[in-house]
Every structure is written in C-alpha cells, then in structure tokens.
Amino acid sequence: MAALSACRSNWGSVVRMTWTTNTSGAYRCVRLIDGIALKAPYLLKYSDLNFHAGRARKIGSLSCWLKGWWDRFYRGLKHNQQEVRRWRELGAREIDGVSLCPIRFHLPLGLLVVMARALPLGRPPTFPKEDQAAFHLIGRWQDTGKEDTFGIINGKVVVVDYGWWVPKPGGIP
C-alpha cells in the first residue's frame, strides 16, 4: 500500500513524501519512507479487528477481544525491544558478509524502531552461508530461510527482521 503526503516546508514550497506500508507482519507494521524504515506494534490491524470482533460476538465478551489485542500489541513491543537489544549487543558485526540492519533511533518500551531502509534481497537466501549467518546474528532459527528477512544496503546483505520474543509459560502479563 503506497500513499502520498504533501506538507509545506519553512520556505513555502511543497515537499512531497512517498511511503510504503508493509502490514504482512504478525505483530508490527513497517512504514518505509525515503531512507528509513519505521517499525511499530500494531495499534489496530483491520484483519485482526474483524477476526476478534467475530470471536467476541460468539463468546459475548469484550474482554476476550481486549486480551487478543493486548497480546498482539505486547508481542510487537517485545519484538522491537529484542531488535534494539541485539543491535546493542552486536552492532555492525559481520558474519560471512551478512550483518544486522542498523538501528538509527528507537523509543523506549519498543514503541518505535527506526532502521536504515534496505532494498529487497530479490532472491532466496543462500543456504547454508546466509542462513547460518542469520541464525548467529538473530540468536535463533527464526525466519532465516525467508527472503523478506534479508535486504541489501550499500551492496551488502543485512538481516532486517531480527526481533523475536517467546512468552514465558503461563502467558503474557
């Protein structure tokens, strides 16, 4: 989904910004603007809203819908927090020509992560080289074989989706 926004600069000229929004993620929305990628937990994802609304009608409880919403939002926060943590731990470390996508800025609690924008990889990741490198950089086997886990920045392969979180037994607080 692409959108166009116009705003006035300090000098009176109109500045146009184009962005692309990726809503295919389970817990986070990614908005691509110029040279950056903004990752934020979903506040409301329309497809989930319809799904949970249908469930709430069947169950007859708003608390069921709120629990589902909170679960997804909380997991989005945790995924962002994990990406910040991994970036702080590893930074620009490179393994077999693969590194983490750099984080430029983040808000506390995982409300927002701003990364450098990567171009799509455009091919499946090479196995085992890029797959193994992603495993070591991410810290687990999560989506390492998926093309959209990787991107290209300045001709180098980067891992763009390295956030993960597994809830403790007993559920989410």
Write the pLDDT tens digit of every residue in 3-53.
444 444 444 455 455 678 877 788 899 999 989 999 999 987 766 666 655
- pTM score, whole prediction: 0.79
pLDDT digit string (tens) for 109-120? 999 999 999 999
162 burial class (0-12, 13-18, 19+ CB within 10 angstroms)?
Answer: buried
**Confidence at 167, pLDDT banded by 50, 70, 90:** confident
The distance in angstroms from the start CA to the end CA of the chain is: 34
Neighbours of 141 (CB within 10 A): 11
Q: Let me know if residue 100 belongs to a domain.
A: yes
Whether 107 is in a domain gets the answer yes
Token pair of 22, please?
């990726």
> How many domains does one find in the chain?
1
Share of the chain above pLDDT 90, in %: 43
Structural domain boundaries, residue 62: 2-117
Instruction: Answer whether residue 76 is part of any domain.
Output: yes
Torsion of CA 81, 87, 90, 93, to 10 degrees: 150
C-alpha to C-alpha distance for 139 and 163, rounded to whole angstroms = 10
Q: For residues 152 and 139, is the Cβ–Cβ distance under 8 A?
A: no
Residues 111, 39: Cα–Cα separation, whole Å = 8
- For residue 129, tell me if it sits in a domain: no
- Domain assignment present for residue 34? The answer is yes
Share of the chain above pLDDT 70, in %: 78
141 within a domain of the structure (yes/no) = no
Establish if 77 belongs to a structural domain.
Answer: yes
Bridge partners of 26, per DSSP, are none
